[in-house]
Structure 1
Amino acid sequence: MIKFPDGFLWGAAASAPQTEGHSLLNGKSATTWDKWFEMNPEKFNDNQGPQDTSNTYEMYQEDVENMQKIGMNSYRTSISWARLLPDGKTLNPEAVGFYRSYFQDMLDHGVEPIINLFHFDMPWWLMEKGGWKARESVDDFAFYAKTAFEQFGDLVKRWTTFNEPIVHIECGYLLGFHYPAIVDFKKAVQVGYHTLMAHVCAVKAFRESGVDGQIGIILNVSPAYSRSDSKEDMKAKNASDLLSIYSFLDPAVLGKTPSELISLLKENELLPYVDAGDSALIKKNTVDFIGLNYYQPNRVMAPENPITPAKTPEDLFAPYDWPDKKINPYRGWEIYPKALYDVAIMMRDKYHNIPWYVSENGMGVADEGRYKDDNGVIDDQYRIEFIKEHLEYLHKGIEEGSNCFGYHLWTFVDCWSWLNGYRNRYGLFSVDLDNDFKRTIKSSGKWFKELSENNGF
C-alpha cells in the first residue's frame, strides 16, 4: 500500500458562490456574477446562473452528514463577502447564523472547516468603485477579513485569504471569462498588485486579531515545461513561472517580490502603482501554510513574433502543443500527474519546506449519466484512476521530504462552474438539478471512504 503521514487531511474543496445558492436572498447583495448573469445571460451555459447552484444554503446538514459517511476529515469552502457584509460595512446577522451553524455542524461530524475569504465573487458595490483596480479595495478587504475572524475565529482554525488570485486577474482582465471581461495587460498587473496587498493586509488583520489558528493563501500552480532547453524557450518558461506562480508564492512565503519579475514588468512598461511602505508590509506578513491547486501543466515555447512592450502574456511565452500529451477532452486540459511531484519538490527546496497541501485537484467530465450502473450509481472509474495517479506522485514527493499535510479533491458535490454552469461534473456526489438537488454518491465517493480509512491505497 501507499500510506500517507499520520493526521493527513482527506477532504474536498468548493466555494460559496458555486454551491450555496440563495444568491440574492437572506440579506445577501449582488456580486459581479449576479449582475453579469442579469446583463448577459446568453454567456452562461444552458442559462445556468448563480441563483441556485447546488442549494447548499438549505442542504448543508445533509452534505455534512455525507462528508462524514465517506470519511472526509476536512472541507474547504468560502464565505461570501456580499452575504456577510452586504454593503461592505454592515454585518448581516442571517449570514452569521448560517455560517456558524454550517461550521459547527462540520466540527460536530469530525470535519475540519478550512475557510477561504475570496473565491472570485467580487461584491457589486465594490466593482462599481473599480473592484481590485481601486486601491481602496485593499482596506475594504482587510475590514471584511477582520470581521470574519471576529465572527468565526472560535470555530475556524485554518484560514485562507484568496483562492487562485491569478485566475480572477487573468480571466477578468486578459481572457474574458470573468467580469469585466476586458483585455488590458497593464490593468491586469495593477489588479494583481492590489489583490496581493489585500492578501497581505488580511494576514496583518489576522495577526492583530489574536485569533488562535493559522492563515495561508490558495494558489493555482501550472508549472511551465519548455519545448526545449534552448535559451529562448527557457526564457519563456521563466517568464511563465514568474507571472503565474512566483508572483504570489514568493511574497506570501518569502516576503518579497522576485527581482526578476520586477525587471520583467519594468522592461515591458507594466509596473503597477505602489504605496510607500508596501514592501515592509509584504515582508512582515507572510503565511503559515500554502494551499496549491493543481490541474494541468503549462507547456510553453518562445513566441515567434514577440512584441515589446508585451501586449499580452503570449508575447512573453507562447503555448506549446506537446505531441505526447494526454488530454481530458471535456475540459481540454492536459493530464500530467508527474507535475505534482515537481511541485512538491519546489515547495521543499525553494520555499523553506513550508507546510502545504493540495487544495484542489480533480477531473471534470460531461454527461456523466452515461456511466450509471444498474443501481443508478455513476461508476466514475476514470476519476478514481485520475486521483490515484496524482496521489502516487504526491506520495513520492512526501517520501522525499516535502511537507505536504493533505489532499482535497475538487469537489464534494457537483457544483456550478461560472460561465460553464453544470456542463462538467467534478463531485464525489452527483446533484440532480431537476429533482430537488438530490445528492447521489458516485463510485468515487465510495472509494474515497476506503482511501481515508486506510490513509492510503
Structure 2
Amino acid sequence: MKTTFPENFWWGCAESAAQTEGEADTSASITNWQHWYQQQPERFFNQHGPQHTRNSYSCYKQDVKRMRDIGLNSFRTSISWARLLPDGKNADPKAIDYYRSFFNELKNSGIEPVVTLMHFDMPYLMQQKGGWTNRAVVNDFADYAARCFELFSNEVKHWITFNEPIVPLEGGYLYDFHYPNQRDFRMAAQAAFFTQLAHAKAVNAYRASGQKGKIGIVLNLTPSYPRSINQADKKAAHIADLLFNRSFLDPSLKGHYPFELITLLKKYRQLPEYTAEDLREIATATIDMLGVNYYHPRRVQAKIHAIHPQAPFMPEWFFDNYEMPGCRMNPYRGWEIYPQGLYDILTNLRDHYGNIPCFISENGMGVENEERFIRKGIVEDDYRIEFMQDHLRGISQAISEGSACFGYHCWTFTDNWSWLNAYKNRYGLYRFDLSDGSISPKRSAYWYQDVIKKNGF
C-alpha cells in the first residue's frame, strides 16, 4: 500500500547546538552541561562530555551539502545562548557570523532553517542566578530572544522558543538526570511556570517586532494510556496527562492552564508563585505552529501501594508506570515502540486544540553498538527504516483524516552527543566515527532520500 504526503511537506531532520557544535574557538561562556561535566564526569557514558561533539561549528558547510544531497527541504537546529551572549548581554561577533553563515548556507541550498532558542543548554551564569526558579532569568531569556529576532530576521522565518521544556524540569528538579540535580516538586512547578512565562514573553516580543514569520514551541507529547478501563486506571492516566502533557500544551495553545491541574496542585500546596500580569502575558501568547517530539507512549495504572505519609510529593503519588506484556520494545533505550501513539497525538490536536498547524519535530530510534550491523562499510539499520516507516504511516493516516500536520523531522541527521548518554545510543542517518571523525551514510540515509524524492513510499 502506497503512503503519500501533501505537496510542500517538510522533510527534514533535527539537531541542537549543544549536541553538535563543540567547544569551538569563540568567547562562549560555560553552559550548565559543561559545568556539570567538570563536576561529575563519571555520570556521563564513557566520560564523554559536551566537548566530544562532532564540531559542526567548523564543518557545517559539509553537513549542509549532505542534507542537500539527500533532499532535505527543512532542518531544525538551535542557537546556543551561551555562545551568542557570553556575558548574558553583549553578542559575540564571531557567533553572529557563524549562525548567520550557517542559516544562509541552509537557505541557499533550498533548506528552510527552523531555529530553536533553547534546547536544554542554559548558560551557567543564568543557572547561578537560580535558573528557571528565578524571575530575573525569565527577563534575561526574553532579552536574548529579542536579540536573536533582531540579528537573524533575514535568515530565519520559523522560530521555536523551547525544545521539550518539561524535560529539564523532570531531570533537574524531580528525577536527577539534568543539572541542578534537585528533588523538589514545588521548585519544579515554579521552574515550569517561569519557563512558560519566558516562552510567552519571547512570543510576544516576536509579534511586537513586526516580522512576518511564525513562532512556536516543541513539546514532547507522550500519550498516557491506562492499563484497563477501570476508573482508577483511567484517573491515573488522566492525571499523568495533566502533569506531563497538558501542563505546557494548554497554556501554549489555549493561553491558560487546565482547571483540574490548578486544583490538584492547590490541594497539595504545590502551586508556583505568579501574578495576574503573568497570566495575562501567557494568555496573549498563543503560538502559530507546534512541534511534536514523539518516541514512545506512557502506560500507567492506579497505585498498587499507598504513599508513605512522609514521602516527598512526586507525580508518582497518583499512578504507577506499567509495561504492557508483549509490547514491541527498543531494548537499548527501554522504550516501547508504538506508532499508534503518534496518530493519537495528531488526532487529539485536531479534535481538542483547534487543529493547530504542526510538524513532527523529532522521531527516531536510538540503538547501541551499531558497528555490529556494518556490512561492506555501511550500517544496515533496517530497524530504523522500519521504525520511521511505521510512524510515517500513522502521520499519513492522520493527515488523510484532517490533521494539519505539515512536516516530519527525524532525530537525527548525524550521530550526535546525547547528554548523559553521550554516544551510547546512535540515532543518525549518518554515522559519526569517534575514532577518526569521519561521517558516512547509513542505509537509512538512502532510504530517506528515496522517500523525499517520491514524497512517500
TM range (shorter): over 0.9
**Structure 1 residue 137 and structure 2 residue 137: aligned?**
yes
- Partner AA of 2:18 in structure 1: P
Cα distance in 1 for partners of 2:265, 2:320 equals 17
Q: CA RMSD in A?
A: 1.1
1:153 CA displacement: 1.3
Query: Runs of 5+ in structure 2 lacking a partner?
Result: none
Q: Indicate the residue corresponding to 2:79 in structure 1.
A: 79
Q: Quote the Cα distance in structure 2 between the aligned partners of 1:268 and 1:74.
A: 44
The answer as to whether partners of 1:377 and 1:441 remain within 8 angstroms in 2 is yes
Structure 2: how far apart are the matches of 1:218 and 1:143?
Answer: 20
Distance across 2 between alignment mates of 1:211 and 1:324: 51
Show the counterpart of 1:394: 395
Aligned to 1:359: 361
Deviations 1:129-150 (A, max 9, x none): 1001101111010000000000
Q: Distance in 1 between matches of 2:109 and 2:313?
A: 51
Q: Once the 2 structures are TM-superposed, how far is the Cα of residue 306 of structure 1 from its aligned partner? A: 4.3
d(CA) in 1 for partners of 2:143, 2:303: 43
Shift of 1:305: 3.1
Question: What is the match of residue 153 of structure 2?
Answer: 153
* Amino acid corresponding to residue 101 of structure 2 in structure 1: S
Which one of the candidate residues 334, 356, 359 is aligned to 1:332? 334
- In structure 1, the residue matched to 2:427 is 426
Q: Which amino acid aligns with 2:357?
A: P
Within 5 Å, which residues of 2 pair with 1:418-457? 418-435=419-436, 437-457=437-457
Give the Cα–Cα distance (whole angstroms) in 2 for the partners of residues 377 and 171 of structure 1.
35
Corresponding residue SS for 2:52 = coil
* Residue 52 of structure 2 is aligned to residue 52 of structure 1: yes
Hey, what does 1:18 align to over in structure 2? 19
Do 1:414 and 1:431's aligned partners in 2 also have CA atoms closer than 8 Å? yes
Work out whether residues 310 and 316 of structure 1, in 8 Å CA contact, stay in contact via their aligned partners in 2.
Answer: no
TM-score, normalising length: structure 1: 0.98
- Hey, what does 1:207 align to over in structure 2? 207
In the TM superposition, what whole-angstrom CA distance separates every residue of 1:26-53 from its partner, at most 9, and x where no partner exists?
1110001111111111111111010131
Using the alignment, how far apart are the partners of 1:310 and 1:39 within structure 2?
27
Partner of 2:64: 64
Distance in 2 (alpha carbons) for counterparts of 1:349 and 1:251:
17
Deviations 1:306-364 (A, max 9, x none): 44797111111210121121110111111000111101100100110110010000000
Aligned residue in 2 for 1:368: 370
Runs of 4+ in 1 over 2 A off after TM superposition: 304-310
Q: Distance in 2 between matches of 1:136 and 1:385?
A: 46
Which residue of structure 2 aligns with residue 177 of structure 1?
Answer: 177
Unaligned runs of 5+ in 1: none
Structure 1 residue 421: Cα displacement: 0.5
Distance 1:13 1:275 in 2: 36
Q: Separation in 1 of the partners of 2:448 and 2:327?
A: 27
| 1:242 equivalent in alignment to 2:239 | no
For 2:393 and 2:191, how far apart are their aligned partners in 1? 37
State the alpha-carbon separation in 1 of the partners of residues 236 and 359 from structure 2: 28
**Which residue of the partner structure matches residue 117 of structure 1?**
117
Is the CA contact 1:362–1:410 (under 8 Å) kept in the aligned structure 2?
yes
What do the CA deviations read for 1:353-402 (whole angstroms, capped 9, x no partner)? 1100100000000111111112x011111100000011111111111000
CA-CA distance at 1:229 after TM superposition: 1.4
TM-superposed CA distance for 1:304, in Å, is: 2.2
